[in-house]
Chains A and B, each alone.
Chain A
Amino acid sequence: MVDFVWNVRSPLQQAVMPGRAGAIVPFAGVKLAEIRDFDLVQIFARRGQREATAKAVKKHYGVDAPAPRQAVSAKGATLIWSGPDQLMALSARKPGTFRPVDALRESFEGIASLSDQSDGRCLIRMSGLQARAMLAKLTSVDLHDSVFPVGTAATTSIDHTAVNLWRSENSEDGSPVFNVLVFSSFADSIWHTIVDAAAEYGIEIETRSAASV
């Protein structure tokens, strides 16, 4: 066996430069974080198995499966509705896990198709008092509190690129927190688009491990 020190690399390794960017202002209007080291499994209910899949979700994660346009927090995972009869299960990666699907296989055997997308997506978190203004440049979804409260999810697009967008609990300063999952190969481009959109508000950039959020 070859001795090998892991050098896991994010598609945003080169693009994300932690620190301040954009306009020079006392308080960054937008905070951008790339969340790394997560597992992501897409769960598709098979035909006629919606109910059974919902039950399996409840049993496995201890929460109700997300209703359409919803994201729910469960023990150790966030479940994001991603389309009719499908959802994404997002969790912090356990050290040494290569195949997150394995842990779910038993629960969903025969009722849902599982697909590992841990490497297929990048996760970008956007917060700050101007996050909503910045996102208004990028997404056609109405993010107003009355329409898009905490826990709302949308399968939509940014710059013609498919994304999963959802809102998690407000940050400490009361500003909204939005998350987007973008396809890995598009991540570099989308990151630059986001930074460009946020530049006028001043940006604070960081990377975080999924285990720490």
Chain B
Amino acid sequence: MNAYRIKGKGRVDQRKPVRFSFNGTAYTGYEGDTLASALLANGVHLVGRSFKYHRPRGILSAGSEEPNALVGTDRGNGRFEPNTRATVLEVFEGLNTTSQNHWPSLKRDVGAINDALYMLFSAGFYYKTFMWPKSFWNKVYEPFIRGAAGLGKSPTVPDPDTYASRFAHCDVLVVGAGPAGLAAALEAGRSGAKVMLCDEQAELGGSLLSETNARIDGASGWDWLKAAAAELAALPNVTVLTRATAIGYYHQNLLGLCQRLTDHLASPPEGAPRERLWKVRAKQVVLAQGAIEKPLVFDGNDRPGVMLAGAARSYLNRYGVKVGNRPVVVTSHDSAWLAAYDLAEAGAKVAAIVDVRPEVAGHLKQRAAALGIEMLTGWTATGTSGRLRVASVRVNPISRNGVFGPARTIACDALLMSGGWTPSVHLFSHTKGKLDWNEEGQMFLPGERTEESRCAGAGNGSFGLAAALAEGAEAGADAAVDAGFKAKAATYKVDGEVPLMGVSSRELTTDRNASKAKAFVDFQNDVTAKDIRLAVREGFKSIEHIKRYTTNGMATDQGKTSNINGLVIASDAVRRPAPAVGLTTFRPPYTPTTFGAFAGYNRSELFEVTRKTPIDVWAEENGAVFEPVSLWRRAWYFPKPGEDMHAAVTRECKTVRETLGMFDASTLGKIEIVGPDAAEFLNRMYTNAWSKLGVGRCRYGVLLGEDGFIRDDGVIGRITSDRFHVTTTTGGAARVLAMMEDYLQTEWPDLKVWLTSITEQWAVIALQGPNARKLFEPLVEGIDLSEEGFPHMSVAEGRIYGVPTRLFRMSFTGERGYEINVPARYGRAVWEKLFEAGQQFGITPYGTETMHVLRAEKGYIIVGQDTDGTLTPEDAGLGWAIGKSKPDFVGKRSLSRPDMLKADRKQLVGLLTSDPNTVLEAGAQIVLDPNQTLPMKMVGHVTSSYWSGTLGRSIALAVVEGGRAREGATIHVPMPGRTHTARIVGTVFYDPENKRLSA
């Protein structure tokens, strides 16, 4: 059934076949297969097209580092994912997969023309090739490049899956369950520490899963693994997570693990989350991430069938799959010889082992000779052939003095390469741990640590099973001890392991013209050795710049197989040692992670928190339309049957102006400022003077930043001599409190003042309109509501309906107004009572839109709408609110800077359109001369604009350069299709004498 599967070999369950499809063709694999192993078992090597040149590509690796074998996976019901690594994806019955990046088909791809035109696509080609004519960039070149670029297709429907997340805490977290990680987890687990062990693969074992020779304590590697897994499973203090990738290592030993829960299941349980993001806080961390094999860089090293030797060994030993019947090995490292032996023993005809080293250990040769494998030591690979699959490799001998001998072509159906191994230091680097360059191994190793972490095994540069077990056990025991437990590292006896050596090579030397070689460094981004050298020639010296110019190490694999090769090639080209050239930054996540995992539960209704007032439910029950205002949802308007927004708002405005309206102002920020120095504190924070504000009186206050620009505003009432009730804007509440705390703690610690947020404590009902007093005068106890006893801008405490209230007389509409603060739990009841009692006056509830219109008619600003962080009080027409005689307040110095005093600063003005029915768009740009050529000189913009039913015409507020001096002038607002004209007027459109405040 599987032409390349060896019966009975490997760890897949050959009794359990699963059917899946790739590009519409049905294939069979077995439970335990990855898509890659199952395709290889069927003799399929061609799985995709490369990013830039659309070259046919195969499977390079057997792990999460895979740069080439990216497929689109369809798990049904809208569950489509691009760029899934075939080497990670587990096959299941009914899996549908497709290759990417080609048209019309994988085997015949028109885009491969790019391969022939490769001269045009060298490093930085998009900066150079498409420069002329200039006008072509936007319309022709960029759309073309963008259309041709990109990996995979985006899903077109919302992700139907759900995602889970949770926090976890442990004494020791072990990342990686290869031999080092297992040994560490066993040691820590036996000590009684709370241990978590995670591994990105479906089963524990790491490199042990591909190892068939060595024996541990007399048992085979797999038997030892089975026993270790069983022991860990039996320890109640140990949690083992498979399919869980440690994606990031953050401060104070917080690690993110993304666990795949259902992607491997043919029929996931209904409602089961697809993935779970674990946020693990560990006292101690053991990193046993292992190592990733390096490709060799030579011409044609990217054809399908060319793969890492270690991967071929994994496919054979773990999955029972021969990657070819006639493989050739080309290597600079001993480990590839093991792949040759294993394949030969499994019945493949290994055509040759080509080793670039002139000499290799005798025992390697003996075994190869015994297996009848031809050995070419001191030879190099200089080319390959085969369009959709490698067919041959061209090799040359090199003499000791570097002279090339004649080329020889060796037929093969798989080419297995190894350039040595790169320790995975990704997570260690996330912590900003220092990396030390190891010249002998040509690798970076973990150095000085910044977190409570240890590295063990191949990830620490300690290669081989015996070293991994010993170092893992020691790290596990030490971690447990540091977490407060007693532990002593066990020792393991390992047999059958041979020491493995190698040299690290740059691009393999060639007898051909190196500038024509397609010797790939980064397979995913089609970056060749000559691209890197070109970048250096063009002046790039920093590895970070070289990376961005060539794209080496970018995209989904983040250069796991290419970074070190790229670095050493760059280091040679710039003639500086590798550590001086440096390494690009490792950033989370370690492997591609779904947005769903990060979002977790925060989707749809739970996307973010919504704040609601005590009156929110009443508004909902009474047909309010809501709008979001910072985190709050606020009633926007209350349409009656048949009314649209315009009609509802016009009616609400008219009712407030003529009789009475009520408004839920509970969202306003409220801060209580208490203490003997409260007035002095306010003097220093706000622009206004507060010392002389009498008890029971209120004042409008303006808060600036140090830069002199308006930050917030609100009405402040003095409840007692040492107690102020400060209101802030809805969106500014938390910011203002934090700013006050900051000043109090850092600038004026001598002031005896205490701040408390009381936003949540009070429900606030604004009663506005000429009948406001009439309505509630009979309802209020303990406050003299007469004009003399309680004039505009007063505050008093008393009771309404018997409920304690903090009553303000203030207006944001220009009408007589009161704001009734009652403890939140009574908010709705008092509101309902007032609404009921207000029926005699035809009361209307109104929302934020009516509030906006009414305040705009009066020219009252909204901070953040009419101001944008660059307006001074003077600009906003609030110069009167500045206590000029005060010695200081936040922002005072800035207000005297020359730039702040310029006459042509943007100032807030009113606008009346020539056509009273035209309502300008808020944000529209204002120009003085509409006939000027583009781009026009903009002198300001519209900040607020409404239809004013009261005035029977539109009104607008705007900021205009030198606006107040231009009063009466005509300005223009160019909009698509037509240009509006308007006259600059004052900001108060209605009742400028403020007669209605006491009407």
User: How far apart are the CA atoms of A160 and B606 in the complex, in Å?
Assistant: 12
The answer to whether B825 and A117 have CB atoms under 8 Å apart is no
The answer to whether B760 and A140 have CB atoms under 8 Å apart is no
Interface hit among A25-33, A170-178, A184-192: A184-192
Interface hit among A10-18, A50-58, A64-72: A10-18
User: How far apart are the CA atoms of A25 and B239 in the complex, in Å?
Assistant: 26
User: How far apart are the CA atoms of A143 and B611 in the complex, in Å?
Assistant: 27
Q: State whether the Cβ of B318 lies closer than 8 Å to any Cβ in chain A.
A: no
Question: Majority SS of interface residues in chain B?
Answer: mixed
The answer to whether B758 and A137 have CB atoms under 8 Å apart is no
Interface residues of B in 767-810 (CB under 8 A from A): 778-779, 781, 801-804
User: How far apart are the CA atoms of A1 and B802 in the complex, in Å?
Assistant: 8
Interface hit among B163-171, B433-441, B874-882, B891-899: B163-171
A2-B801, A140-B281, A185-B632 given; A190·B826 CB < 8 A: no
The answer to whether A137 and B601 have CB atoms under 8 Å apart is yes
The answer to whether B833 and A4 have CB atoms under 8 Å apart is yes
Q: Contact flags (1/0) for B175-197 with A, using CB distance below 8 Å? A: 00000000000000000001000
Q: State whether the Cβ of B262 lies closer than 8 Å to any Cβ in chain A.
A: no
The answer to whether B823 and A11 have CB atoms under 8 Å apart is no
In the complex, what residues of A have CB within 8 A of residue B613's CB? 185
User: How far apart are the CA atoms of A162 and B164 in the complex, in Å?
Assistant: 22
In the complex, what residues of B have CB within 8 A of residue A8's CB? 825-826, 829
Q: Report the nearest A residue to B620, measured CB to CB.
A: A14
Q: State whether the Cβ of A159 lies closer than 8 Å to any Cβ in chain B.
A: yes
Q: State whether the Cβ of A167 lies closer than 8 Å to any Cβ in chain B.
A: no
Q: Contact flags (1/0) for A100-134 with B, using CB distance below 8 Å? A: 00000000000001011111110000000000000
Q: State whether the Cβ of A94 lies closer than 8 Å to any Cβ in chain B.
A: no
The answer to whether B632 and A46 have CB atoms under 8 Å apart is no
Q: State whether the Cβ of A169 lies closer than 8 Å to any Cβ in chain B.
A: no
A186-B609, A186-B611 given; A140·B167 CB < 8 A: yes
Q: Report the nearest B residue to A161, measured CB to CB.
A: B609
The answer to whether B601 and A7 have CB atoms under 8 Å apart is no
Which 5 pairs from chain A and chain B are nearest by CB?
A120-B760, A119-B824, A185-B611, A142-B169, A189-B609
In the complex, what residues of B have CB within 8 A of residue A47's CB? 752
A6-B829, A137-B164 given; A11·B824 CB < 8 A: yes
Q: State whether the Cβ of A211 lies closer than 8 Å to any Cβ in chain B.
A: no
Q: State whether the Cβ of A147 lies closer than 8 Å to any Cβ in chain B.
A: yes
The answer to whether B761 and A120 have CB atoms under 8 Å apart is yes
A4-B802, A119-B761, A185-B632 given; A160·B609 CB < 8 A: yes
Q: State whether the Cβ of A75 lies closer than 8 Å to any Cβ in chain B.
A: no
CB distance from A198 to the nearest CB of B (A): 12
Q: Contact flags (1/0) for B605-636 with A, using CB distance below 8 Å? A: 11011111110110000000000000010000
The answer to whether A2 and B779 have CB atoms under 8 Å apart is yes
Q: State whether the Cβ of A183 lies closer than 8 Å to any Cβ in chain B.
A: yes
Q: State whether the Cβ of B754 lies closer than 8 Å to any Cβ in chain A.
A: yes
In the complex, what residues of B have CB within 8 A of residue A14's CB? 617
Query: Considering residues A98, A115, A184, which has the most beta carbons from chain B within 10 angstroms of its beta carbon?
Result: A184
The answer to whether A2 and B756 have CB atoms under 8 Å apart is no
Query: Considering residues B602, B803, B826, which has the most beta carbons from chain A within 10 angstroms of its beta carbon?
Result: B826
User: How far apart are the CA atoms of A140 and B277 in the complex, in Å?
Assistant: 13
The answer to whether B754 and A46 have CB atoms under 8 Å apart is yes
In the complex, what residues of A have CB within 8 A of residue B654's CB? none
The answer to whether A113 and B754 have CB atoms under 8 Å apart is yes
User: How far apart are the CA atoms of A116 and B632 in the complex, in Å?
Assistant: 23
User: How far apart are the CA atoms of A5 and B823 in the complex, in Å?
Assistant: 16
In the complex, what residues of A have CB within 8 A of residue B762's CB? 119
Q: State whether the Cβ of B48 lies closer than 8 Å to any Cβ in chain A.
A: no
12 more CB-based (< 8 A) A-B contacts, given A9-B614, A160-B609:
A2-B778, A2-B801, A4-B802, A9-B829, A13-B617, A116-B823, A117-B761, A120-B824, A139-B167, A140-B167, A185-B759, A193-B601
In the complex, what residues of B have CB within 8 A of residue A120's CB? 757-761, 824
The answer to whether A2 and B752 have CB atoms under 8 Å apart is no
Q: State whether the Cβ of A44 lies closer than 8 Å to any Cβ in chain B.
A: yes
Q: Report the nearest A residue to B802, measured CB to CB.
A: A4
Size category of the A interface is 35 or more
7 CB contacts below 8 A, A to B, read A6-B829, A7-B829, A11-B614, A120-B760, A121-B760, A185-B759, A192-B606
The answer to whether A184 and B614 have CB atoms under 8 Å apart is yes
Q: State whether the Cβ of A164 lies closer than 8 Å to any Cβ in chain B.
A: no
Size category of the B interface is 35 or more
Q: State whether the Cβ of B88 lies closer than 8 Å to any Cβ in chain A.
A: no
In the complex, what residues of B have CB within 8 A of residue A98's CB? 803-804, 823
The answer to whether A4 and B279 have CB atoms under 8 Å apart is no
CB distance from A109 to the nearest CB of B (A): 13
Q: Contact flags (1/0) for B816-848 with A, using CB distance below 8 Å? A: 000000011111110011000000000000000
The answer to whether A189 and B802 have CB atoms under 8 Å apart is no
User: How far apart are the CA atoms of A1 and B169 in the complex, in Å?
Assistant: 59
CB distance from A93 to the nearest CB of B (A): 10
User: How far apart are the CA atoms of A193 and B756 in the complex, in Å?
Assistant: 27
CB distance from A29 to the nearest CB of B (A): 15
Q: Report the nearest B residue to A184, measured CB to CB.
A: B760
Which one, B167, B609, B779, B802, contacts A159 given CB within 8 A? B609
User: How far apart are the CA atoms of A116 and B674 in the complex, in Å?
Assistant: 13
CB distance from A81 to the nearest CB of B (A): 17
The answer to whether A190 and B761 have CB atoms under 8 Å apart is no
In the complex, what residues of A have CB within 8 A of residue B281's CB? 140, 142
Query: Considering residues B674, B756, B828, which has the most beta carbons from chain A within 10 angstroms of its beta carbon?
Result: B756
User: How far apart are the CA atoms of A131 and B613 in the complex, in Å?
Assistant: 29
The answer to whether B168 and A136 have CB atoms under 8 Å apart is yes
A9-B614, A142-B169, A190-B609 given; A44·B279 CB < 8 A: no
User: How far apart are the CA atoms of A57 and B334 in the complex, in Å?
Assistant: 74
CB distance from B617 to the nearest CB of A (A): 5
The answer to whether A116 and B761 have CB atoms under 8 Å apart is yes
User: How far apart are the CA atoms of A4 and B834 in the complex, in Å?
Assistant: 12
A98-B823, A147-B169, A189-B610 given; A42·B779 CB < 8 A: no
Which one, B601, B612, B617, contacts A196 given CB within 8 A? B601
User: How far apart are the CA atoms of A137 and B277 in the complex, in Å?
Assistant: 10
The answer to whether A44 and B824 have CB atoms under 8 Å apart is no
In the complex, what residues of B have CB within 8 A of residue A11's CB? 612, 614, 824
Q: State whether the Cβ of B474 lies closer than 8 Å to any Cβ in chain A.
A: no
User: How far apart are the CA atoms of A9 and B504 in the complex, in Å?
Assistant: 74
Interface residues of B in 71-124 (CB under 8 A from A): none
The answer to whether B760 and A117 have CB atoms under 8 Å apart is yes
CB distance from B753 to the nearest CB of A (A): 10
The answer to whether B610 and A188 have CB atoms under 8 Å apart is yes
User: How far apart are the CA atoms of A183 and B828 in the complex, in Å?
Assistant: 17
The answer to whether A188 and B614 have CB atoms under 8 Å apart is no
User: How far apart are the CA atoms of A190 and B610 in the complex, in Å?
Assistant: 9
The answer to whether A119 and B760 have CB atoms under 8 Å apart is yes
A42-B756, A185-B632, A192-B605 given; A119·B823 CB < 8 A: yes
In the complex, what residues of A have CB within 8 A of residue B169's CB? 142, 144, 147
Q: State whether the Cβ of B672 lies closer than 8 Å to any Cβ in chain A.
A: yes
In the complex, what residues of B have CB within 8 A of residue A147's CB? 169
In the complex, what residues of A have CB within 8 A of residue B823's CB? 98, 116, 118-119
Q: State whether the Cβ of A99 lies closer than 8 Å to any Cβ in chain B.
A: yes
In the complex, what residues of B have CB within 8 A of residue A116's CB? 761, 823
In the complex, what residues of B have CB within 8 A of residue A139's CB? 167
The answer to whether A115 and B760 have CB atoms under 8 Å apart is no
A136-B168, A160-B609 given; A119·B756 CB < 8 A: no
Q: State whether the Cβ of A197 lies closer than 8 Å to any Cβ in chain B.
A: yes
Interface residues of A in 63-92 (CB under 8 A from B): none
CB distance from B726 to the nearest CB of A (A): 14
In the complex, what residues of B have CB within 8 A of residue A42's CB? 756
CB distance from B676 to the nearest CB of A (A): 10
Interface residues of B in 339-388 (CB under 8 A from A): none
In the complex, what residues of A have CB within 8 A of residue B279's CB? 140
In the complex, what residues of A have CB within 8 A of residue B165's CB? 137
Which one, A1, A159, A183, A189, contacts B781 given CB within 8 A? A1
Q: Report the nearest A residue to B833, measured CB to CB.
A: A4
Interface residues of B in 743-765 (CB under 8 A from A): 752, 754, 756-763
